[in-house]
Structure 1
């Protein structure tokens, strides 16, 4: 197998190792199979790293696995799509989910939720690749608008702005970070197509 090594845009002298990570859409069964291991580890790593993704620290692996089991159910119902990045060793290095609106008047939109890249795989463009994968699928399946929210002033904001997302506004004290401190959240949107 030939692997193309791309130049890392944030560090031009380093190879873009994320290009070697393969991204695949997970079936509900695959989400269940990875829930207690790789997916739970990604979620625990994100919370341990200070990411405000809906959980307080310390996040137990069993709680993270239970959340992913619920995601598998949503995927089985067609409400959520899941993509995972696998490193050269086969381990999970990142994940992103796309949640479809259940409202009759919102069938044209979706939400990017839980874009997670393991701390050991950050800075190599993997977050951009996962986001682009979910966006391409959204377009291919007829969605014309995506939304997301993220902690204000977090590193994720740079990723979203760089990928063409527009900040719609900020809500103060919207969610607690993993340490329990209330933080502002910025809402983003992106028109597709």
Structure 2
């Protein structure tokens, strides 16, 4: 699947995981440096970022996509299926990140579209996520059809050290033939 003209969206596989972890390290570092915590207070070192991606790729409930322009990683998104027995129909969307130099090229919606297509084709009917309250990401998710459930104030410490709220959102999917 392609997003921007030269951008390739591909699913991370067991075979591509090690190279992808190294390629995505700069995207994670840039995301934190640009003010989104995505679970970090300070940007990780390249080695820490590679270890973090490698651990995520090892999770059997997680499926990750990468946006590339040639060999350069531009962005990523991950889907984590619910591990609970009462949740085979739902999953959480985590870590939608696009490098600052690649923003505005349609990469985020292309990544999300690939994830949603895969989710529907594999029988998922409900996706959930949380995002920083008042952020550009929150307004983009709303534009892309996500519904707001509510918010939690003072949820996470941002890289600036301030406490920020998170907004919980969901999207229902229609099952499709694979």
TM range, normalised to the smaller chain? Answer: over 0.9
Find the counterpart in structure 1 of residue 67 from structure 2: 85
Q: Which whole-Å deviations, capped at 9, do the CAs of 1:123-177 have from their partners, x for residues lacking one?
A: 1211001001101100000000000000001111122011100011010011111
Count of equivalent residues: 173
1:177 matched to 2:154: no
| TM-score after normalising by structure 1 | 0.86
Equivalent residues of 2:57, 2:63 under 8 A apart:
no
After TM superposition, give the deviation of residue 61 of structure 1 in Å.
1.6
Find the counterpart in structure 2 of residue 32 from structure 1: 18
The structure where helix makes up a greater share of residues is: 1
Equivalent residues of 1:31, 1:71 under 8 A apart:
no
SS of equivalent to 1:20 = coil
1:163 matched to 2:148: no
Distance 1:50 1:18 in 2: 24
Distance 2:142 2:12 in 1: 27
Q: Which whole-Å deviations, capped at 9, do the CAs of 1:83-123 have from their partners, x for residues lacking one?
A: 10111x32110111000000000111001100011101101
Q: Runs (4+) of structure 1 moved beyond 4 Å? A: none
1:149 matched to 2:134: no
1:43 matched to 2:28: yes
Root-mean-square deviation (Å): 1.4
Distance 2:144 2:116 in 1: 10
